[in-house]
Amino acid sequence: MTKNVFFASKRLAVALAVLVASGQHQRAAVAADAATPRYAIAIHGGAGEWANLTPEKRAEMMADLEQALGAGRDVLAKGGSSLDAVEQAIRVLEDAPPFNAGRGATFTATGQHQLDASIMNGADRSAGAVAGAMTVKNPIALARRVMTDTKHVLIAGEGVDRFARESGVELVAPEYFWTDETRREFEKAKADAADSQQRKSTGDGKKVSVDLRPDHYGTVGCVALDTHGNLAAGTSTGGLSMKRFGRVGDSPIIGAGTYADNETCAISGTGVGELFIRNAVCYDVIARMRYGGAALAEAVAVQINERLPKETAGLIAVNGAGELVAEFNTAAMPRGFANSTGRFDVAIEPEPTPPAQEPAPAENSR
C-alpha cells in the first residue's frame, strides 16, 4: 500500500513539473511573440532638400504623414492585407498637397501633369503600374487594377486614362493636381530655363547633368508586412519637374523604384529616377539578400552610400520579420514607421546622432 502511494505521489509530482514547465514555455513563447511584430509598415514622402519649411508647412506635412501611416496601420491591425494597407496609405499621400504625387504633382515642361505609380504583391510577385496618367485622382488605385484586372504589368500614355475610364476609378480635371505653390515653381522653372537657353546661345552656358540637377523629389511610397506574412510595396509620383512630355521615371518600373518578394523584402524608392533605372536599385537590394545572404539594412545601405551619388536617393523597406529600414543621402526624407508592438513615429530630417561617449576614467591603481 505504501509502495503504491509512493509511486502515485511520484507520478503526480512529475505531472505537476511538466505542467509548470509547459506553462513557463507558453509564457516565454507569448513574450517572444509580443516582441516580434505581427505586422509592420513604413511610408516615405520623397527624398530631397525640403529646405525652408515654414512651421505651418512642417505641421501640415507631419499631420499628413501621421494620417497616411495611421490609415495603413489600421488596415493591418484589423487583419487586412499588405496590398490594401499600401494602397490606402499612398492614397492619403496622393491627396496631400505637400508631396509630389496626385494633388501637388509637379508640372511637365509643357505645363501638364503626368503621374506614375506601381504596386507589387510579395506573395506571388504580381505587379501593376501606370505611367503618364493625366486625369486619374489616385494613380496607385489604377496601378492595382492593372495588376488584378489585366494580364499586363505596365500601361502607359494615352492608354492609362482610357483604362481608367473603363475601370471606373475616380477621375478629375487636370487642374485638380496643381496648387499655388507648384504653379509658382513652374513659372520660376520656365524663367530659369529661358535664361539658361539665352546664356547657352551666347556661349557662356554650362551643361548640367540631369542626374545631379536639384529637383523636387516628393515621390511617395509605402511598404508593409501583414499578419498573414505577406509583403507588398507601392510607389507614386508626379515625376521630374519640367520633364519632357512622355518622360517616365523609376516609380512605375518594377525592379527600379518598387519591388516586393516574401522571401526577401518589400522596398520603395525615391530620388533621381534615371539613376534608379540604370542601377535596378530595388531589385539589387532583393538580389543581395537572396543570392548574397545580405541582411536587409546592409543591402539597403549599399545602395544609398555606395551605388548612388549624394543628394539623389532614399529607400524604405521591410522584411518578413517585420524589420523596418529607411536610408537616404539627401538632406531630408519625410517618413513614418508603425508596427504591432506599438511603434508609431514620423520624421522629416535625419535622426540626431547621439553624442560620442567619453571613455570612463581609469580606476586609480593601488
Angstrom CA distances, 144 to 119, 159, 349, stand at 6, 15, 31
Which phi and psi angles does 33 have, rounded to 5°? -65, -40
Query: How many CB atoms sit inside 10 A of residue 341's CB?
Result: 14
The answer to whether 43 and 65 have CB atoms below 8 angstroms apart is yes
Q: Which of these is catalytic: 106, 108, 182, 219?
A: 219
Q: Enumerate the β-bridge partners of residue 155.
A: 130
Sole residue written with cell 523604384: 257
Longest CA pairwise span in the chain (Å): 116
DSSP state of 190: H
**How many of the other CB atoms lie within 10 Å of CB of 130?**
31
Which among 67, 72, 121 has a CA at the least distance from the CA of 339? 72
Contact 129, 143 (CB under 8 A): yes
Closest CA to 142 of 119, 173, 164, 113: 164
Sheet of strand 258-260, all strands in order from the earlier edge strand to the far edge? 258-260, 265-271, 313-319, 324-328
219 assigned to active site: yes
Could you tell me which of 337, 325, 339, 270 has the C-alpha nearest to residue 295? 325
Active site residues: 219
